[in-house]
Amino acid sequence: MEALEHLKSGVEIGGYRVLEKLREGGMAVLYRVASPSGAETCLLKIPKLGFGSHPACYAGFDVEQMILGRITGPHVPRLFAKGESEFGPYLVIEHIVGTPLADYAGRAPLPVDEIARLGAALASAIHALHRQEVVHHDLKPSHVILRPDGRAALIDFGLAFHGHLPDLVEEESDRPAGTPAYLSPEQLAGVRGDPRSDVFALGVILYLLATGRLPFGEPASLSGQCRRLYIDSAPPRRIRSDLPPWLQEIILHCLEVRAEARYATAAQVAHDLTHPDQVMVTERGNRLSRPGLMTAGRRWLAALVEPPAVRKSPAAHLALAPHVLVAVDPTYGSEALLQTLRDAVARIIAGEAHWRVSCVSVLEPSALTEQEEGAEIMRSLHTQRLVELHHWAQALGLPQERLRFHVLEGGDAAAQLIEYARASHVDHIIMGARGSSGLRRFLGSVSSRLVAEAPCTVTVVRAVPVRDWPP
C-alpha cells in the first residue's frame, strides 16, 4: 500500500484522479484531483495519521466532513464526496480559487477602504455561516480566501461547532482548541458554540489588517493568552495615527472582553463597515491609550461573580439580534400610517436584546432632477429626506446608536430596497401599504414586489381609517 503522503498522480480514489500534491499540513494532506468527468478540479483531503494514532486525532477530520455536509453557499467549499479508501477516510471538496486573506495580511497595514471592503466581505461570510448553526472557531487570514468576485470563502472546519450536532472536537485538558492569537476570552474559558467568538476573531483580523500587528501578540503559554481577559489591546490609532476613529470603534467593539458587549452579529459589523458614516463614534473610537489597571481589576472581580453563560445554539443567538429595515416615505401617506409603522417597529423589536433598525427611504428621480442642475437638486432633496427620516424616527424613542438612516436613490424603489436588504443581511422588512388607486393596481405596488422577492420576512402595515372600522 502506498503511503498517503505520496499518492502518485493518476491514482484514483472514489473516481477522482490524483493530479498533484498541493500541500501537507500538520493534520492532513491535500491533493489536487480531477472529477470523474474530468471537467473540474477539486481538492482531496486525507487525514495524516500514522500507525497507532489515537482515534481522537481523526476528530478534526470528522468534524469537517460532518459540517461541510450541512452547509451551503458561496462562502464555504462545496463537499463533493466522502468515503473510506484503502488510504483511510477521505473528503473531496471544492478547490476555491482566489487570493488567501493571508496575502493581504502580509501587506498590512492596508488602506482604510481596502480594510473595510475585505472586512465586510469576511463579516458577511461569517454571518452566512452562523445562520446555518455553525461557529467556525478557527478564523484567521490563512483560513479565508477572497474569490475573484470579491466574496469571501471560509475554509478548514476542523474545529467548527454545529448547534444541532455532537461536538467531536477534543480539547486537551489545559488548552482550548484554536489558534492562540485569535482565541476569544470565552474560548479561553472553555466555552464553545458562541457566534460572538467568531466576531472576536474578526476583530483580531481587522486589527491585523489595519496595523500590521496582532492585538494580543502570539503568546505560547495559557497564562499569556489569558491576559486578554483583563487587559485590552493597544488602540489601533496609537499604532497608526491616520486610522479613522470609526474604524477603531468597529475593531475595538469586536474585541470587547465580554461577548455581551461585542457586536451581536457579524452582519452588524458588515453593515457598519459598508456605512462608516453611520457609525456612532464613542470614547472607544477616539482613545489613544488602553484602559488602565483599574479596569483590569474590575474585570477580574466581575469574572469572579459572573454567572455561567446560558447555552444557546448559534441561530438562537442571531434570533436575539434581528436587523429590521423600515421603509418610510415621509412624503406620502397620513400621519396615521407613519404612526402605524412606528407601532409595528416597536412590536417587532420588543423582547429582542440586540436589534438594529435601519430607517430607509427611496428617492426617485423626477423631471425636476433631470434638468441641468439636477445633481444639486438631488443633493438637497437627499438631505431633506434624511432630515425627515430622523424626524420620523425621533418619535420612536429608541436609542440613537441602534438606529441607522439611509436614503437610497434610484428609479426602481422595490429593487433598491431588495438589494439593500440582501447586502445588509436584513431579517425583517416593515413597510406601509399605499392606497389602491387604479394606476397602482395597473403598475403593481412596491410592497407586493417586496413580499414576493425580498430575501427575508416582510410585514406590510395598513392604517385603517376610523370611518372604515370595523372593516
Partner 1 sequence: MKIAVLSDIHGNLEALRACLAHAAREGADLHVFLGDLVGYGADPVACLGLLADHAGRGALLVRGNHDEAALGGLCENMNDDAREAAYWTRSRLSTAERDFLAALPLTVRRDRLFFVHAGADAPEKWNYITSKVQAGRCMDASPTAVTFAGHVHHQSLYFSAGSVRVFQPVPGVPIPLSPRQRWLAIAGSVGQPRDGNNAAAYALYDEEERMLTYFRVPYDHMTAARKIIVAGLPARLAWRLQRGK
Q: Which residues bind partner 1 (CB under 8 A)?
A: 54-56, 58-59, 62, 65-66, 69, 84, 89, 164-168, 170
CA contacts within 13 A on the Cβ side of 5: 7
Cβ at position 190, least distance to partner 1 in Å = 13
**Judged by CB, which is closer to partner 1: 84, or 242?**
84
**Judged by CB, which is closer to partner 1: 190, or 399?**
190
Cβ at position 69, least distance to partner 1 in Å = 7
**Pairing verdict, β 323-327 and 356-363:** parallel
CA contacts within 13 A on the Cβ side of 304: 5
**Judged by CB, which is closer to partner 1: 68, or 381?**
68
Look at residues 431, 437, 436 and name the one whose alpha carbon lies nearest to residue 460: 431
**Judged by CB, which is closer to partner 1: 168, or 303?**
168
Amino acid at 222: L
Amino acid at 13: I
**Judged by CB, which is closer to partner 1: 68, or 267?**
68
Amino acid at 34: A
Place of cell 436584513: 426
Amino acid at 332: Y
Cβ at position 200, least distance to partner 1 in Å = 25
CA–CA separation, 229 and 305 (whole Å): 15
Residue 175 — φ and ψ, nearest 5°?
Answer: -145, 125
Cβ at position 22, least distance to partner 1 in Å = 24
Query: CB of 43 within 8 A of CB of 95?
Result: yes
Four-point Cα dihedral 182, 187, 190, 192, nearest 10: -120
**Judged by CB, which is closer to partner 1: 287, or 312?**
312
Cβ at position 83, least distance to partner 1 in Å = 11
Cβ at position 61, least distance to partner 1 in Å = 8
Query: CB of 359 within 8 A of CB of 403?
Result: yes
Strand partners, 459: 430
**Judged by CB, which is closer to partner 1: 165, or 231?**
165
Query: CB of 355 within 8 A of CB of 374?
Result: no
Residue 23 — φ and ψ, nearest 5°?
Answer: -165, 165
CA–CA separation, 76 and 78 (whole Å): 6
**Judged by CB, which is closer to partner 1: 172, or 372?**
172
Cβ at position 310, least distance to partner 1 in Å = 14
DSSP state of 33: E
Cβ at position 93, least distance to partner 1 in Å = 16
CA–CA separation, 330 and 375 (whole Å): 21
**Judged by CB, which is closer to partner 1: 280, or 315?**
315
**Judged by CB, which is closer to partner 1: 10, or 55?**
55
Query: CB of 324 within 8 A of CB of 428?
Result: yes
Cβ at position 166, least distance to partner 1 in Å = 4
Amino acid at 179: T
3-state percent breakdown (helix, strand, coil) of the chain, nearest 5: 40, 20, 40
Look at residues 68, 222, 29 and name the one whose alpha carbon lies nearest to residue 160: 68
Cβ at position 57, least distance to partner 1 in Å = 9
**Judged by CB, which is closer to partner 1: 34, or 168?**
168
DSSP state of 172: B
Cβ at position 68, least distance to partner 1 in Å = 11
- Chain centroid to Cα 456, Å, comes to 16
Cβ at position 313, least distance to partner 1 in Å = 8
CA–CA separation, 31 and 29 (whole Å): 7
**Judged by CB, which is closer to partner 1: 165, or 320?**
165
Burial 250-276 (b: 16+ CB within 10 A, else e): bbbbbbbbebeebbbbbbbbbbbbbbb
